[in-house]
Amino acid sequence: MADTDEAFLNSDDVEPGERIGGIVEFRPDADDTNVRLDRFVTDARQDLSRAYVQELIDDGAVLVDGQHRRASFKLTPGETVTVDIPPPVVFDLKPEAIAISVVFEDEHMLILDKPAGLVVHPAPGHPSGTLVNALLHHAPQISIGGSNRPGIVHRLDKDTSGLMVVAKSDAAQQSLLGQWADHSVRKGYLTLVTGILDDDEATIDAPIGRDPQQRQRMAAHAKGKPAVTHFTTLERLATTTYAEVVIDTGRTHQIRVHFAFIGHPVVGDAVYGHDRATAQRREEPWLRRHFLHAHRLGLRLMDGREMTFESPLPSELSTVLELQRVAARGWAEPEP
């Protein structure tokens, strides 16, 4: 049974290990009274789509107090919901001669600058032409190990560009996973958002989970997982703001969801942008993706050195930024 969850495939910077197989248990509380079984499981395991959870229920992989129930079964506090999640389907991964921009490489890890448009790992709908296929060609020693994501410890959305680290050895993978677990990895992003941010510096602290109304999207709501985003305003332009962003957590689409939540969606974001961001995309027709770039990555190498890597804005983003600066200067000039 294939998992068709697009949100996981196209995640901004998701914490490692969210999707694993195995048996997990959940117990509904008072707030879950009369909530549908499929809705409850989807909220509890936000890395699984509702359609996929319904497949699990139909296959008998979801039980309530040991009994098979329908997806529409209404829950009662005190019951135990058991979910048997099968391991993900492993593709026959093939090396492909896809060019990648390597920023740093040693025998243990590789830092690369991912372009927008490149999917990180194979999944239903994207069996080839991914970063993983390119990595297997560039560094054949990376162990597949029954995974679709050899060496991958974090991910960027297909349309987010910027720095990623890939483990080339098992020891490096464990080290990097440990650094993510203790929040010592330093990740910085550059973004252009619609409207003018009032604060020079601020923190957005709002839980993120699947949108209850549109399950293919994420949203800020009380039942989500904790998510914290810090931003620093770099430039206020005519109708947009250029900002640097640092995230404490790595929820699916976190930066895009948080800025949409405060009313300043990322420029060019067709999913969370609403009217202003999509209008901005029409005004900048050469911007065919959202304006989000992972420009800084700091971590500890296997020899103990702490290093920080940086990536400049790609040309399509720097062009849009410069045009916004020109527009801002035009707005600031007094009429003769």
Catalytic residues: 157
CA angle 275, 293, 103 (to 5 degrees): 165
Nearest to 43 by CA among 225, 229, 228: 225
How far apart, in whole angstroms, are the C-alpha atoms of residue 266 and residue 320? 13
The tokens of 260 are what?
């949409």
Residue with structure tokens 């099968």?
Answer: 86
Query: Where are the alpha helices (H) located in the chain, listed in sequence order?
Result: 6-9, 37-44, 50-58, 131-138, 170-181, 254-261, 274-283, 315-332
For residue 32, the 8-state DSSP code is: G
How far apart, in whole angstroms, are the C-alpha atoms of residue 250 and residue 54? 26
What percent of the chain is helix, strand and coil (3-state, nearest 5)?
25, 25, 50
Residues 185, 168: contact at Cβ < 8 Å?
A: no
Residues 266, 290: contact at Cβ < 8 Å?
A: yes
Q: Which H or E element spans position 29? A: none
